Amino acid sequence: MQYSRVEITSVNTSQLKLLTETQTSELLKKTHAGDKKAREALIVGNLRLVLSVVQRFSSRNENPDDLFQVGCMGLIKAVDHFDLSQGVRFSTYAVPMIIGEIRRFLRDNNPVRVSRSMRDTAYHAMLTKETLSNELGREPTVEEIAERLGMEREKVIIALEAVVDPISIYEPVYSDNGESLYVADQLGSYNDENDWIDELTMRQAIEALSDREKRILTRRFMAGKTQIEVAAEIGISQAQVSRLEKSALKKLKNR
């Protein structure tokens, strides 16, 4: 088996082996003792884990074969660096490694050039985010990620924002009753002398919203948070966030 490249084209993935937790533990012990056959069996036995991670990126216009091969590199790193003494499941450790490897690949192929140091910071931040999510059982805050990395909060935010993929100006950011709000609708131009009046009107409309409605809109459309993430921050249900968001947007539209 060539570890630098793994072929999945025309492979019936349903026939891939699936190891039990006991088998995985035994193979890990043998692998760390220098057993190359055990290492290969461990990698092959966890390829379905890589496939499950690749499916998370199905919305990306990337060749799944390429993502699978990159994910396998993350799996191999997990096999080689897993610490048996930590008492955690191998999959808990491997999944963030696989995700991180795929995200690194996607960033390196991003048409917008970002410095190597910035990409590395973002990579470590996202890997730390996955690790903290597993440890805490929830989405970690930026402050928690920054503290774990020993970095300033602002540097983490800037790094993460720098590697966000560019989107089309015709990408819908909100839809309600068949009417969509697109990115282009949010782009302003000061060529029109009436623009400042529109901006003033919008500010007045926003001031009329409740503090909770302002916070929800800010987190949703300025910070790019999902409704579930906003719900966790505020301490209410996702359904309540959805209802308050629609109400606030309707108020702005009416004004």
Each residue's pLDDT tens digit, 116-137: 677 778 878 888 888 888 888 8
**Domain identity same for 220 and 160:** no
Mean pLDDT along residues 7-27: 71
234, 243 contact by CB (below 8 A): no
Boundary of a domain, candidates 126, 148, 165: 165
**Domain identity same for 72 and 136:** no
Q: Per residue in 61-86, is it b (16+ CB within 10 Å) or e — as a string?
A: ebebeebbbbbbbbbbebbeebeeee
**Domain identity same for 161 and 98:** no
Task: Assign 6 a pLDDT band (cuts: 50, 70, 90).
Answer: very low
**Domain identity same for 4 and 99:** yes
175, two tokens: 């839809």
Range of the domain at 192: 172-254
Put simply, whether the predicted model's pTM sits higher than 0.75 gets the answer: no
Domains: count for the chain: 3
**Domain identity same for 98 and 135:** no
Least confident residue range of 6-10, 36-40, 120-124: 6-10
pLDDT for 114 equals: 56
Each residue's pLDDT tens digit, 208-248: 888 888 888 888 777 777 888 888 888 888 888 888 888 88
Assign residue 63 a region (left: φ > 0; alpha: ψ between -120 and 50; beta: otherwise).
beta
**Domain identity same for 147 and 192:** no
Mean pLDDT along residues 92-120: 76
208, two tokens: 């009329």
**Domain identity same for 104 and 146:** no
Least confident residue range of 5-9, 15-19, 88-92: 5-9
Mean pLDDT along residues 152-165: 75
Residue (of 80, 88, 96, 74) closest to 27 by Cα position: 80
Question: What is the CATH number for 218?
Answer: 1.10.10.10
Mean pLDDT along residues 23-35: 90
123, 104 contact by CB (below 8 A): yes
pLDDT for 192 beyond 70: no
Measured CA to CA, the distance from residue 170 to residue 162 in angstroms comes to 21
Phi, psi of 173 (to 5 degrees): -105, -15
pLDDT for 42 beyond 80: yes
Task: Assign 30 a pLDDT band (cuts: 50, 70, 90).
Answer: very high
Task: Assign 198 a pLDDT band (cuts: 50, 70, 90).
Answer: low
Question: What is the CATH number for 98?
Answer: 1.20.120.1810
**Domain identity same for 211 and 223:** yes
